Chain A
Amino acid sequence: MNIPGPLSQKPRLAVYKFSSCDGCQLQILELEDELLELAGEIEIAYFLEARRQALPGPYDIGLVEGSISTPAEERLIRQARKDCKVLVSIGACATAGGIQALRNWADIDAYKKRIYPRPEWIATLDVASPIAGYVYIDFELRGCPVNKRQLVEVLSALLAQRRPHLPTYSLCIECKRAGIPCVMVARKTPCLGPITQAGCGALCPKFNRGCYGCFGPAETPNIAALGRFFQEERNVSRPAMVRMLRSFNGYLEPFKTSSDDYEQCIQP
């Protein structure tokens, strides 16, 4: 992680949206307590979801939501990289390709023909990709959606020119600190927590559900071990393994290759 150089006196913020559901931008707007403070510290220069007026670049900080799915988006992200000193991708779409990256395993032309009366009008790239597939990214904030605390942490760190503290270890560590009864052990519910990066505060286990991995792979996920356990001890089928790995972060390694391996019946 690089700590970027000094920002302007009143840093200028741009929030970009690519292929996405807007949920991560909403997380910014939902920062109720901090939003005013934020507006005091930085100039929100470009944030179409929040402000009609769009001020031209250059910007100090760019937050990028969404994956790159169309040629127009590809042009815009290259421009965004030129316009921003620091570029942060926020959310599973921007960091992993998101749900729409599931189409990367499908026949996109067949989709187009099936859904649109004039498929030739649809301009789309072959695959939906994370932002880092196109331009250099300074930080990535995982999650579908991102966690508000982590957003504030990254912005505060950028403003203070310090390293943000974003854990990369497993969700289990957060889950146990919070004293949540483990759903794997106490309910026999498959949980992706052991291979998923912490950050959400163990939201799903808190509500007695298994984590479905929306924060993406943890630092050294032992997918093979968890997968073997799921199949041998929890009756999870191979196709189910493929589906578990291919959700919000399915197009991100090592979930991607592991899901391919399960699909092709190779024990990853």
Chain B
Amino acid sequence: MDKLPLHIVRRPELDRVFGLLRDNAYTLIGPTRRDGVIQYSEIRSLADLPIGYSDRQAPGSYELVKSETPRCFGFVHGADSWKRFLFPPKRRVFGASRQAGPKTPFDIDDLRSPPPAYAFVGVRACEIAAIGILDKVIGSELLDPFYRQARDKMFVLAVNCIEPGGTCFCVSMNTGPRVTRSFDLCLTELGEEFGVEVGSERGAALFKQLTSRPATAAEKELFRLLLERASERMGRHLETEGLPELLRKSIESPRWQTIASRCLACGNCTMVCPTCFCYNVVDSTDLKCRKAERWRYWDSCFTLEFSYLGATSVRYEISSRYRQWMTHKLAWWHDQFGTSGCVGCGRCITWCPVGIDITAEAAGFRETAPPRAVPLTPQQQAMPS
């Protein structure tokens, strides 16, 4: 496990790290406390971090509480993911304008502002895995230049999770809680100090400028124990053995209908999922019909428009939309991109307004008989099937 040497820095050194990153023209984005949740937004110093707060997450429930230990990273992620910065929810693709009326030539402006060089602070292991998945999907297939540039420039200041959230299951998905790849520097909170691992040359160059000392044998042991304990305290568990095949066989299961009797088709799960990449492209014109713009928006397979083909939506019933979401994440993603589409972050569980738990629902398909089928509501009966 302990391939990389562990160093120890004192807490105020983190402010040095932030300062050095800023000096190198990085825009620092990290966890902040806003309206009672952890949100990723611009930070400048240690004081901007929600020090002394921890989160309580459960299906459909999130609470930020003051904790006894004044840790800097005593919480896991909130609803935000780094996707918001690498693949923004709304983005202007290009504009076109012309001076005179119809049929006159027009100019295209695709002066897309390049992304800033982001330094992401407090990136968790599952989030690094999620960025790895986005790299495959958006970086290599959609070939979005904004994503590519943002991705190439970004600095990852990772944090090892020693206190997993109530809906986390990264251990099941083999993505955490320990950060092992694709980072520049990785922090582990060891009491009042930080354990630091260096993961790249960029990270090493920065680390050289800090005051540090090698970890003692006892500190290395503490580090190991904390991460081991974190692995054992996952809020959720998902049995992945044979899962894609199981879901494939369950396509006609009445269980989808049972889930749909609770699912609002609100799309929150796909919006917060750090690997969901679906988007819609919308054109608009102005009142004078001289300017047009093309915008890209995050989309969701829970909308009717998503599967609209010519005359109707293919996935009209909520059951078929939930099925699309779950089978894409846990089954078809393997065929499409060679990995699971789920990194076990638990966001979709916490931020589902009615607390539908993807791990529990997936486990349900392992039971032979579905639960008592819920009768169709008049609304559902009225829907064309």
A positions within 8 Å CB-CB of B: 34, 37-38, 40-41, 152-153, 155-157, 159-160, 162, 165, 167-170, 172-173, 176-179, 181-182, 184-188, 191, 193-195, 208, 219-226, 228-229, 233, 254, 257-258, 268
Instruction: Give the CA-CA distance A41 to B285 in the complex, in Å.
Output: 14
CB neighbours (8 Å) of A222 from chain B are: 260, 263-265, 318, 379
Say which one of B15-23, B35-43, B111-119, B332-340 lies at the interface with A: B35-43
B positions within 8 Å CB-CB of A: 34-37, 39, 60-63, 78-80, 84, 89-90, 260-268, 271-272, 282-289, 297-298, 300, 302-305, 316, 318, 350-354, 377-379, 383
Q: Is the CB of B267 within 8 A of A173?
A: yes
B305 CB, nearest partner CB in chain A, Å: 7
For the complex of A and B, list the 3 residue pairs with the smallest distance between their C-beta atoms, beginning with the closest: A176-B271, A194-B266, A177-B89
One of A37, A181, A226 near B36 (C-beta < 8 A): A181
Given contacts A173-B303, A182-B79, A220-B304, 19 further A-B contacts (CB under 8 A): A37-B288, A40-B288, A156-B285, A160-B285, A168-B303, A168-B304, A169-B303, A172-B266, A172-B267, A173-B267, A179-B84, A185-B60, A186-B63, A194-B265, A222-B263, A222-B265, A225-B354, A226-B264, A229-B354
One of B63, B80, B353 near A172 (C-beta < 8 A): B353
Q: Is the CB of B62 within 8 A of A186?
A: yes
User: How many A-B residue contacts, CB cutoff 8 Å?
Assistant: 152
Known A156-B287, A165-B282, A182-B351; contact A172-B304, beta-carbon cutoff 8 A: no
CB neighbours (8 Å) of B61 from chain A are: 185, 188
Q: Is the CB of B300 within 8 A of A185?
A: no
Q: Is the CB of B288 within 8 A of A170?
A: no
Q: Is the CB of B353 within 8 A of A38?
A: no
Q: Is the CB of B264 within 8 A of A195?
A: yes
Q: Is the CB of B262 within 8 A of A225?
A: yes
Q: Is the CB of A159 within 8 A of B267?
A: no
B319 CB, nearest partner CB in chain A, Å: 11
CB neighbours (8 Å) of A179 from chain B are: 39, 79-80, 84, 89
18 contacts between A and B (CB under 8 A): A37-B287, A156-B286, A156-B287, A157-B285, A160-B285, A169-B304, A170-B265, A172-B353, A177-B298, A181-B79, A182-B268, A194-B264, A195-B264, A208-B35, A225-B354, A226-B264, A229-B353, A268-B378
CB neighbours (8 Å) of B378 from chain A are: 257, 268
Closest to B59 in A: A185
Closest to B261 in A: A225
Q: Is the CB of A41 within 8 A of B288?
A: yes
Q: Is the CB of A186 within 8 A of B36?
A: yes
One of A37, A186, A223 near B35 (C-beta < 8 A): A186
One of A153, A185, A226, A254 near B62 (C-beta < 8 A): A185
Closest to A36 in B: B287
| B contact patch SS | loop
A172 CB, nearest partner CB in chain B, Å: 4
Q: Is the CB of B354 within 8 A of A186?
A: no
B368 CB, nearest partner CB in chain A, Å: 26
Instruction: Give the CA-CA distance A132 to B37 in the complex, in Å.
Output: 43
Q: Is the CB of A170 within 8 A of B264?
A: yes
Q: Is the CB of A170 within 8 A of B266?
A: yes
Closest to A267 in B: B377
Instruction: Give the CA-CA distance A220 to B298 in the complex, in Å.
Output: 20
Closest to A176 in B: B271
Closest to A258 in B: B379
B152 CB, nearest partner CB in chain A, Å: 24
CB neighbours (8 Å) of B37 from chain A are: 181, 186
A221 CB, nearest partner CB in chain B, Å: 8
CB neighbours (8 Å) of A226 from chain B are: 264, 353-354
CB neighbours (8 Å) of B84 from chain A are: 179
Instruction: Give the CA-CA distance A187 to B37 in the complex, in Å.
Output: 10
CB neighbours (8 Å) of B267 from chain A are: 169-170, 172-173, 176
Closest to B34 in A: A181
Known A170-B264, A181-B34; contact A155-B297, beta-carbon cutoff 8 A: no
Instruction: Give the CA-CA distance A156 to B286 in the complex, in Å.
Output: 6
CB neighbours (8 Å) of B289 from chain A are: 156, 159-160
One of A177, A184, A219, A268 near B353 (C-beta < 8 A): A184
Instruction: Give the CA-CA distance A186 to B286 in the complex, in Å.
Output: 38
In this complex, the member of A173, A188, A233, A268 whose beta carbon has the largest number of chain B beta carbons within 10 angstroms is: A173
Q: Is the CB of A191 within 8 A of B304?
A: no
Instruction: Give the CA-CA distance A155 to B285 in the complex, in Å.
Output: 10
CB neighbours (8 Å) of A167 from chain B are: 303, 305
Q: Is the CB of B304 within 8 A of A219?
A: yes
Q: Is the CB of B284 within 8 A of A165?
A: yes
A213 CB, nearest partner CB in chain B, Å: 13
A256 CB, nearest partner CB in chain B, Å: 12
CB neighbours (8 Å) of A156 from chain B are: 284-287, 289
Instruction: Give the CA-CA distance A176 to B83 in the complex, in Å.
Output: 12
Q: Is the CB of A176 within 8 A of B79?
A: yes
In this complex, the member of A40, A155, A168, A182 whose beta carbon has the largest number of chain B beta carbons within 10 angstroms is: A182
Instruction: Give the CA-CA distance A193 to B353 in the complex, in Å.
Output: 10
One of B36, B79, B264, B286 near A225 (C-beta < 8 A): B264
Known A37-B288, A185-B60, A191-B353; contact A169-B39, beta-carbon cutoff 8 A: no
B122 CB, nearest partner CB in chain A, Å: 17
CB neighbours (8 Å) of B300 from chain A are: 169, 173
B101 CB, nearest partner CB in chain A, Å: 11
CB neighbours (8 Å) of A221 from chain B are: 264, 379
CB neighbours (8 Å) of B62 from chain A are: 182, 185-186
B345 CB, nearest partner CB in chain A, Å: 15
One of B90, B304, B379, B383 near A224 (C-beta < 8 A): B379
